[in-house]
Amino acid sequence: MRVLFTAHGAYGHVLPMVGVARALADCGDDVRVATGESLCPTLASLGLEAVRAGIGDDDLVAEAHRRWPETRHQSPASWAVRMFSDIAAPAMLADLAPIIDSWRPHLVVREEGEHGGPIAAAAANVPWVTHAWGSPLPSQARLEELAESLAPLWRTAGVTARCADGLYGAAVLDPCPLSLYGAGGPEVSARPLRATAPAMPGEHHPRRSPSAQALTYVGFGT
């Protein structure tokens, strides 16, 4: 089976998917990861075939500041979604369309912040699923806002725009522990997944002396 992973070119978007990608490759599936050029060497060092697609992280932020100068003085939380839907998604869609057309994957696995992959997959009649980051999935209200902002791009590609959790595709792979959701749990049906953090080549963890206090480092989301 040919499986195409799609991710924005930033470590927090790419690395959460590496465990599943390598597991599929180890099972004999043909796996490729489409992401920003700067992450391709990292993926190659982890034994995965990478293809360049989309806009790099630095270029993405620079373009957001160019289009919307007011964002230079605003919290990224107020404009990040617009940046990924209005800038990153069209760039990724433009690069993915010929990749999918020539390679014909059987499945597309996109990370939850990459919005061009589902459109490219739908246009080519290829099923897709979503790999979440590991932080709680967004609320239904936030998904509806995202779907509304992406609808013009779906229509431009000649496919029916998806509504809210329809953006996720056939399934959601969710490494977020249920305890982080609170009593209600996720608002969409998701398949729980054990998070794995790949060891980077050449990475060395400092040794802790027996007398030192225990230290816990927690990374959340991207």
Task: Kindly state whether residue 197 falls inside one of the protein's structural domains.
Answer: no
pLDDT in tens, 176-219: 988 888 777 788 889 999 888 777 766 666 666 666 677 776 76
Average of pLDDT values for 47-60? 96
Task: Kindly state whether residue 26 falls inside one of the protein's structural domains.
Answer: yes
Residue 202, pLDDT score? 67
Residue 215, pLDDT score? 74
Task: Kindly state whether residue 99 falls inside one of the protein's structural domains.
Answer: yes
Task: Kindly state whether residue 117 falls inside one of the protein's structural domains.
Answer: yes
Task: Kindly state whether residue 216 falls inside one of the protein's structural domains.
Answer: no
**SS3 per-residue string spanning the chain:** CEEEEECCECHHHHHHHHHHHHHHHHCCCEEEEEECHHHHHHHHHCCCEEEECCCEHHHHHHHHHHHCHHHHHCCHHHCHHHHHHHHHHHHHHHHHHHHHHHHCCCEEEEECCCCHHHHHHHHCCCCEEEECCCCCCCCHHHHHHHHHHHHHHHHHCCCCCCCHHHHHCCCEEECCCHHHHCCCCCCCCCEECCCCCCCCCCCCCCCCCCCCCCCCCCCCCC
Quote the domain boundaries for residue 121: 2-192
Which CATH number goes with the domain that contains 165? 3.40.50.2000
| Cα–Cα distance, 136 to 116 (Å, whole number) | 21
Task: Kindly state whether residue 133 falls inside one of the protein's structural domains.
Answer: yes
Q: Are 156 and 114 in contact (CB under 8 A)?
A: no
pLDDT in tens, 66-78: 999 999 999 998 9
Task: Kindly state whether residue 58 falls inside one of the protein's structural domains.
Answer: yes
Q: In Å, what is the CA distance from 54 to each residue of 40, 117, 189, 208?
A: 12, 10, 29, 40
Average of pLDDT values for 15-20? 95
pLDDT in tens, 98-153: 999 999 999 999 999 999 999 999 999 999 999 999 889 999 999 999 999 999 99
Task: Kindly state whether residue 201 falls inside one of the protein's structural domains.
Answer: no
**Considering its fold, how many domains does the chain have in total?**
1
Residue 196, pLDDT score? 81
